[in-house]
Amino acid sequence: MPLTLADFLQDHDVLASLNLPEGQKQRLVTILEDDFLAEFLENVITASEDILAIDPNLERRTILELAAAKIVKELKAEAASIRLLDARTLKMLSFGSSGLDEFRRASTVPVSKSIAGLVVRQGSSIIVPNISKDPLYQSKKIIATKGFNSLIAVPLRIPSFVSDTDDILGSLQIYYREEDRGFSKIEVILAEMFARRVSHVLARKKILDLKKLNDSKEKITDNIFIKLSKREGIKLKDFFNLIMPDIEEHLHFLCCLLFTISEDLKHIQLEAAYPLDKTYYEPGHSFTIEHHPAFWTVVHGLKEYADLPHERHHPNYLLVKNPGQSELTSSGLRAFIKEHDIHSILMVPLRIADQTRHILTFYAADQKQSFTEDEIELLTFLGKEIMKASTLEFLSDTLHDFKNPAIAVAGFAARAIKMAASCKMEEADIEKLRRYLEIISRESARMQDIALTISGEGRKEVVDLGRTAGERFILNNEVLARSQRKNVTIESFCEEGKLLVLCPLYSLERVLDNLLNNASKALPPDGGRLTMRCYQEAGMACVTVTNTGLIPADQFEQIRKGAVQGRGLNIITRFAQTNHGKLEIDKTDKDTVITIKLPLHRH
């Protein structure tokens, strides 16, 4: 490739055939560079920056529509549309457009028989000079209705940032009026570059959404811990009303209901509602499942994925996209949703051992067609926490009944010991009675200890420490990159599958997030190094985070002894102690080193 425009023109056959004097050649180069290329590149850079400046906090559809409008203007096109792949149905979903407001496009097109699908399958751009002659473009009415005859289709890719989740793929289609239009290389290159800028904005949105999701999960966990730290029992209704405002920020619902299913799966009862003034059912209302098709479907019918005209069946939820037309809604509910402008209903089953025990129901003003992975993850997390609250409520009631007789047994056993000591009995009999009663007293005290400690334990499961640490490290890195810190080196040495521990997953995630967040904040302003290492040592699974920067000497020893602890360190310390592990804090000449050690889980 020539280094300069002058070199390119000097070697070009066309310019050589003109036999221009050297001065005119140089003048031509100057005109092209100064009068055309400079302005052209400036416009391209400005357009690119305009796309990058789109607010990533907007809804994804809004971002795509704004980007499409900017691309149409810059490429002097007539319209643009964006479709994203639904990997479950293998259909391309309409996800925003510009210049097509009055044109009713198909909401979905198949991957195998569409231009958008071919772009996704090939991962490269496609030029369609004449729409009427291309068999893959199904909606020929766009020619007569809008006067569009040609298009460029370029690929989109939205990174997931999660190891077990695929990137979101899509296609940007740019329409022109000219028939049999020839597209230059530079037009295709510009379209692809703008598409990559759109992907960059969506990637930033994904990072912010992950951060927001993590914050919401932490807030839910904090609310539980606050109630437990005050020695308050967890009541399902109280917990439900406590966390719903945080969930409302993500799902934008009008009302949320929590139902409980009977043991025989025949009856359902409303346990809680938020807010109370917008619910179709009254709290405590009970009814049969078989006479309510939507509830019956959630309890018995969510086995396979199905996208129907008025409903979407998903193994993790039922979405009634059009409750006014759906056969799953009753006549009374239809009247209620019409009165309150409800346009979609989401129902999420909460299961224990594959059996639905509760149902979360959301009424929404928007006519939702689907849910993002982040929304599903938040709903899944919410469901798990509600099940924990339900379990804790049950344990709290059970332990209340369990603790009192334990105290009584211990008290009367102590009295019997005292009485036996004063009775006139054979020494051997007295000693035997005393020994028996001491056993009763000791075991009764143990019952009290169990009653007082069991409600504080989270639900433990086998967790891959390397995988979990790696995932939290990736999320922290994206947040760190968003902060635009300079001269920061980050490295992770965590292998999956080798370090299994038994602990609450979300508690571990919360601890790792605190650890990495503290380490990131402690990096010096001029940069530094942050590393995470997972390894095995003396039967313990260890994760060590090292960051440039030292804790002040007057605080270091106090922190090591536990005398001075911030909120984050307090959370980490409590987690390590609760799960029979250790927290170690050390330093080198330039670095702070914090290690969490947990017992390895043995199969």
Average per-residue pLDDT for the chain: 79
Binning pLDDT at 50, 70 and 90, where does residue 174 land?
Answer: very high
* Structural domain boundaries enclosing 101: 54-209
CA–CA gap between residue 326 and residue 55 (Å, rounded): 36
Residue 281 has pLDDT above 70, yes or no: yes
Binning pLDDT at 50, 70 and 90, where does residue 143 land?
Answer: confident
Residue 340 inside a domain? The answer is yes
Dihedral sign, Cα of residue 338, residue 340, residue 344, residue 350:
negative
pLDDT of res. 456: 43
Residue 196 has pLDDT above 80, yes or no: yes
Least confident of 151-160, 296-305, 311-320: 296-305
Residue 285 inside a domain? The answer is yes
pLDDT of res. 457: 42
pLDDT of res. 358: 85
pTM of the model: 0.51
Q: Looking at the structure, do residues 58 and 179 belong to the same domain, yes or no?
A: yes
- Residue-wise pLDDT tens digits, 505-527: 767 887 888 888 888 888 888 88
Q: Looking at the structure, do residues 269 and 348 belong to the same domain, yes or no?
A: yes
- Alpha helix locations (H) across 523-601? 553-560, 567-578
Q: Looking at the structure, do residues 484 and 421 belong to the same domain, yes or no?
A: no
CATH number at residue 562: 3.30.565.10
pLDDT of res. 159: 76
Domain count for the chain: 5
Q: Looking at the structure, do residues 172 and 247 belong to the same domain, yes or no?
A: no
Residue 583 inside a domain? The answer is yes
Query: Among candidates 97, 180, 91, 99, which has minimal Cα distance to 138?
Result: 91
Tokens of 354: 């594959």
Residue 281 inside a domain? The answer is yes
Put residue 497 in one of left, alpha, beta given phi > 0 → left and psi -120 to 50 → alpha: left
pLDDT of res. 501: 93
Only one residue has tokens 């997931």, namely 160
Residue 532 has pLDDT above 90, yes or no: yes
Q: Looking at the structure, do residues 192 and 64 belong to the same domain, yes or no?
A: yes
Q: Looking at the structure, do residues 334 and 351 belong to the same domain, yes or no?
A: yes
Q: Looking at the structure, do residues 36 and 106 belong to the same domain, yes or no?
A: no
Tokens of 89: 């149905």
Q: Looking at the structure, do residues 540 and 592 belong to the same domain, yes or no?
A: yes
Q: Looking at the structure, do residues 480 and 536 belong to the same domain, yes or no?
A: yes
- Residue-wise pLDDT tens digits, 447-459: 655 555 454 444 5
Residue 176 has pLDDT above 90, yes or no: yes
Tokens of 414: 């102590």
Q: Looking at the structure, do residues 339 and 424 belong to the same domain, yes or no?
A: no
Q: Looking at the structure, do residues 265 and 366 belong to the same domain, yes or no?
A: yes
- Residue-wise pLDDT tens digits, 477-486: 766 776 777 7
Tokens of 565: 């602890």
302 or 215: whose pLDDT is higher? 215
pLDDT of res. 541: 93
Q: Looking at the structure, do residues 404 and 296 belong to the same domain, yes or no?
A: no
Over residues 198-212, mean pLDDT: 85
CB 543 within 8 Å of CB 533: yes
Binning pLDDT at 50, 70 and 90, where does residue 155 land?
Answer: very high
The winner for highest mean pLDDT among 23-27, 325-329, 414-418 is 325-329
